[in-house]
Copies of this chain bind each other. A is one copy, B any other.
Amino acid sequence: MFSGAQISLYPMTDDFVGVIMSALGALDPYRDRLRIETDDISTLVVGPPEVLFPAMRDLFVAAARTGKHCVLSAAISRGCPGEPDDAICQSVQLSGPREPLGERKAAALAAIAAAPDTATPIAAQFSLYVMGTGDHMDEIYGCIDFLKRSGVFDRSKNFCTKLGGDAGKVFTAVEAAFCRFGPSEGHVTIDLTVSANSPTPR
């Protein structure tokens, strides 16, 4: 299994470099469990979902707390057949047989209930893509049903689902969507956008 994300952080301010550099400190507690490489478009973060999502959350919360309008965009992937297995990606969430869809939805809701409070309200939207199977829409509809009951559901949009609420619950919801829907060993990706401090009315 190989899992990780290409992540970009966009602070809408003249001091975008300063905001990014100061937010990067939030990744320090996770660095020994992730492989991180940066270029001019994005930062590759390789590791298991249970490290990757809290790391993204803490990075984004640090940027959002500057009060500037900030966006984090990420292409998140697991099980891509073109990527080599990597020991750093070994995950407790993606091994063993898959439970029935109903049990997975219940586990996802339990994860949300246990999410930490970050005192940082955010908006998010994402698309879940499940590849290599003929029944990908069953898993996607199952995920949407979980999201509607998650407490952070905002609305369905064309091509994606919009969430809103505390960053702790929102990132936990996206992690649950990523890990608990689609085959354990399957090729699953998420196109994620997270926003804070936007001046645009919802």
Contact = CB atoms under 8 A, between A and B. Distances in A.
A130 B127 contact: no
A148 B129 CA distance: 25
Interface of A: 2, 4-6, 8, 10-14, 16-17, 38-42, 44, 46, 69, 71, 73, 75, 77, 80-83, 123-125, 127, 129-134, 136-137, 140-141, 157-160, 162, 187, 189, 191, 193, 195, 198-202
Contacts of A12: 10-14, 16
Contact of A195 (B14, B40, B127): B40
Given A131-B130, A134-B134, A193-B41, A160 B75 contact: yes
A14 to B, nearest CB: 5
A76 B123 CA distance: 20
25 contacts: A2-B158, A5-B159, A6-B125, A6-B157, A6-B158, A6-B159, A8-B73, A8-B193, A10-B12, A12-B16, A13-B16, A39-B202, A40-B195, A41-B193, A42-B125, A71-B73, A73-B73, A75-B159, A75-B191, A75-B193, A81-B137, A82-B137, A83-B158, A134-B134, A136-B187
Contacts of A42: 125, 193
A46, A82, A131, A134 — which one has the most chain B CB atoms within 10 A of its CB?
A131
A37 to B, nearest CB: 9
B41 A159 contact: no
Contacts of A140: 82
Contacts of A132: 133-134, 136-137
Contacts of A198: 40-41
B40 A123 contact: yes
Given A8-B71, A77-B159, 17 more contacts: A4-B159, A10-B71, A39-B162, A40-B123, A41-B123, A41-B125, A41-B162, A41-B193, A46-B158, A73-B73, A75-B160, A77-B127, A81-B137, A129-B189, A132-B136, A159-B189, A191-B191
